[in-house]
A and B are shown apart, each in its own frame.
Chain A
Amino acid sequence: MPASNTRTTLLLISLTFCVGLCGCAAPRMPPPPEPELPPGELMRANLAGSWERDYARDDDVNTTLQRAYNLLAKTVSDQRLGNPSRTGMSPRQASALVALARLAELITRPDVLTISQTDYEISVSRKDDFSMLCQFFDSGPKSTNSPYGRETCAWQGRDLVSVLRLPEGLKVVHQFTLSDDEERMRVVTTVSSPISPVPFTLRRFYRKFDRLPPEYNCIETLSMKRVCSTGDLEL
């Protein structure tokens, strides 16, 4: 287990223990407000390219979790003031926050994002995960619907915002922001659910990089699988 994961686990355990000591019930808060998604216009920014993680600038998960925990405690405390019968956060709420944090950490784990962009689509490929898909047509953004969730994208200024709604109110929001020189990118990922009064947000930073030109020209085919050649490919 990497050192950061070990530290995260230790912190999570200590948080759970601490909440266990509190042993008190807290009111359930409504989920955080959704980012306002204005009607999409066709491509406001060009995110296409290969992006590698800039670990030095990334949020530290433990610090972020501590901050979220403090927010949760404050939120519950504020509510307690308004309702004296309620006292502190519940172990379940803390456990839910930890669950959100672990999910956010898992989702944002890929160290390389490969983004392709056409006139209508932006696809974000990630290792060990599905490719996020954003579609924009003249009629507006088009959701990707599945029986198990719904992915919708929109532009906020030049930021691309992707909202994935899953069953039971679980929601994953990614906000992609390009630097002015378009060489760096920040991805803010927020995971929220009705099970936790506060969402969990992680920031990841990326640098654009050029992939080395391939030694061989390769294409995928159906009957011959991957076909490669050192020269021009002729099937």
Chain B
Amino acid sequence: MSSWLRLCAVLLVVCLPSAGVASQDLSPRISVSIAVFDPAIPEDPSVYRDLEIFPRIREVEAMLWPFQLRQSLIDTNAFRMVRVVPEPDNNAELSVVASILQSDGFTLRLHVVATDAMGGTWRDHVYEATIDKETRVGADFQAVFDRIAEDLSSGAIRLEVADVDKLAEVSVLRYAQDVAPRAFGDFLSKNDDGTISILRLPARDDPMVERARMVRETEFVINDVVDEGFVELYAEISKVHDLWREYRRQNQIYQAENARRAGDKDDGYDRASFEHLKRLYDVYKWDRTTVQEQDRLAVAFTNEVGPRVEALEARIAELEVWIDSKYAEWNRLLEALFEVEMRPEPDGQGAL
């Protein structure tokens, strides 16, 4: 009985206003889920220095960049809800995942894959932007996110109303299939190429679909809480991150200056002189000092944003534990309901 009460409580939650970010346009639009980016940090720590990867900072960037993309997507006005979610949402009407291939202050390279609920690939592309070292044009890599948003929105606005409805329906059915596989296992099938075929559709107003939809809405509410946490984090640390990128750019300029100085082969001294040997040593020293200064700044960045990021991560972890436990409960309840509803009437005369 208590389970029923808890389910009712959960269902009440869906009546609360959602904190997700929606387009103002009321015409049919699909929703997008952007997963926190994959920081793509190599497993082998021995390559970090060579690739100039600062793992903790890359992890923070993987949380920050999706918000720039979300804002770009909202600005196109081509989508309904645009959410940032902690993990890729394969059941989303349109799911966007991205890996950070390079992020060094001057260049941002992202591998972006956008897939709809039918398994259709909208985009599988590497986007790149480089800041002009002299003029610092495009200093915040906005161009990358605008191009992604442009590509995705051009696909979205070509959708007919029927396409939008179909994606929404399949999205719910895929979710329902996950949460109640016995009830929805035979509605959809996955083809060899990863696309989804609809085998049959539920009856209009099928109560099981409605329940799955409501459970999903509940999960969205939780996701929106997580999303709000990301928004707060973005507001708090994006300025520090800008500062880090600015330092990193400065550092690369120093390195270029070191290279220029090292390139002056003729220092005017005899090769056997102390001055010449000292110069060989100093050139290496300047280069290492520049690199080590960058290491020091990376530590300063982590010192400053670390507590905020860790607090958010702890909050996400708590919510994920809650969702996982509830998910198991919803699964059990929906399957039990399905069994009750599918049970043949004992006397074959229908329920009273």
**B271 partner, pick from A107, A135, A142, A168, beta carbons under 8 A:** A168
A149 and B289 CA atoms in complex are apart in Å by 13
A129 — nearest CB in chain B belongs to which residue? Answer: B285
> B4 near A: Cβ within 8 Å?
no
- Contact in complex: A99, B296 (CB < 8 Å): no
Given contacts A106-B278, A166-B281, 15 further A-B contacts (CB under 8 A): A95-B272, A98-B274, A103-B274, A103-B278, A130-B285, A137-B44, A139-B46, A142-B46, A144-B288, A147-B262, A147-B287, A149-B284, A149-B287, A222-B247, A223-B243
Q: Cβ of A100 and Cβ of B285 under 8 Å apart?
A: no
In this assembly, does A167 line the interface, its C-beta being within 8 Å of a C-beta of chain B?
A: yes
Q: Does B280 contact A (CB under 8 A)?
A: yes
A55 sits at the interface (CB 8 A) = no
Of chain B, the residue at the smallest CB distance from A93 is: B272
Known: A222-B240, A223-B239. A148 touches B283 (CB 8 A): yes
Whether the pair B277, A221 counts as a contact (CB closer than 8 A) is: no
Q: Decide if A166 touches B284 in the complex (CB within 8 Å).
A: yes
CB proximity to A under 8 Å, residues B295-347? 296-297, 299-301, 303-304, 307
In the bound complex, residues from chain A placing their C-beta under 8 Å from that of B270 are: 95
B54 to chain A, nearest CB (A): 13
A128: min CB distance to chain B, Å = 9
| List of B residues within 8 angstroms of A98 by Cβ | 274
User: What's the Cα separation between A165 and B271 when bound, in Å?
Assistant: 16
Q: Is the CB of A130 within 8 A of B289?
A: yes
Q: B95-118, CB under 8 A of A: which get 1 and which 0?
A: 000000000000000000000000
Assuming the contacts A139-B46, A144-B49, asked whether A220 and B277 have C-beta atoms less than 8 A apart, the reply is no
Which residues of B are found within 8 Å of A172, using beta-carbon distances? 281
Q: Which residues of B contact A164 (CB under 8 A)?
A: 284
Q: Which of A146, A168, A220 contacts B280 (CB 8 A)?
A: A168
- Interface status of A45 (Cβ within 8 A of chain B): no
Distance to closest chain A CB from B45 (angstroms):
6
A167 to B284, CA, bound (A): 10
Task: Mark interface residues in A97-137 (1 if CB within 8 Å of B CB, else 0).
Answer: 01110110011000000000000100000000111010101
Q: A93 to B292: give the CA distance in the assembly, Å.
A: 36
Q: Nearest chain-A residue to B292 (Cβ)?
A: A131
A96–B272 contact, CB under 8 A? Answer: yes
Pairs across A and B, CB under 8 Å, 20 listed: A95-B270, A98-B274, A99-B272, A100-B277, A103-B274, A106-B278, A120-B46, A130-B284, A130-B289, A130-B292, A137-B46, A139-B46, A142-B49, A147-B259, A148-B258, A166-B280, A172-B281, A196-B272, A222-B300, A223-B243
Which chain B residue lies CB-closest to A193?
Answer: B277
Select B304's contact among A107, A130, A168, A235, beta carbons within 8 Å: A235
Compute how far the CA of A130 lies from the CA of B124 in the bound complex, rounded to whole angstroms. Answer: 44
Inter-chain contacts of A196 with B (CB < 8 A) = 272
Do the beta carbons of A219 and B287 come within 8 Å of each other? no
Number of interface residues of A (CB under 8 A): 43
Q: Does A80 contact B (CB under 8 A)?
A: no
Instruction: Assess whether B27 is interfacial by the CB under 8 Å rule.
Output: no
Question: Any chain A CB within 8 A of the CB of B273?
Answer: yes
Interface contact A221-B273, CB-CB below 8 Å = no
Known contacts A146-B287, A148-B284, A220-B296: A195-B272 contact under CB 8 Å? yes
Contacts of B299 in A (CB 8 A): 220
Residue of B239, B285, B300 most packed against chain A (CB within 10 A):
B300
Distance, CA A201 to CA B49, complexed state (A): 31
A188 within 8 A of B: no
For residue B25, CB closer than 8 A to chain A, the reply is: no
A143 to chain B, nearest CB (A): 10
Q: Smallest distance from the beta carbon of B352 to chain A beta carbons, Å? A: 66
B184 interface residue per 8 A CB criterion: no
The answer to whether A145 has its CB under 8 Å from any CB of chain B is: yes
A132 nearest in chain B by CB position: B288
The one of A95, A106, A130 in contact with B273, judged by C-beta atoms closer than 8 angstroms, is A95
Contacts known (A130-B285, A130-B288); A220 close to B303, Cβ less than 8 A: yes
Per the bound structure, the CA–CA distance linking A96 and B274 in Å amounts to 8
Nearest residue (CB) in B for A138 is B46
Q: How far is the CA of A211 from the CA of B239 in the complex (A)?
A: 35
- For the complex formed, measure the closest distance between the CB of A14 and the CB atoms of chain B, giving whole angstroms: 16
Q: Is B50 an interface residue (CB 8 A)?
A: yes
Count chain B CB atoms within 10 A of each CB in A99, A103, A193 and give the residue with the most.
Answer: A99
Chain B residues, CB < 8 A from A102: 274, 278
A212 at the interface (CB under 8 A from B): no
Within 8 A of A (CB), among B17-55: 44-46, 49-50
- Report if B244 contacts A (CB, 8 A): yes
A21 at the interface (CB under 8 A from B): no
B273 touches A120 (CB 8 A): no
Which residue of the partner chain A has the closest CB to B300?
A220
Residue in contact with B277 in the complex, picked from A120, A133, A170, A222, CB distance below 8 Å: A170
One of B243, B273, B283 near A99 (C-beta < 8 A): B273
What's the Cα separation between A224 and B303 when bound, in Å?
11
A168, B272: Cα distance in complex, Å: 11
A172 to B304, CA, bound (A): 37
Name the interface residues of B235-269: CB closer than 8 Å to any CB of A: 239-240, 243-244, 247, 258-259, 262
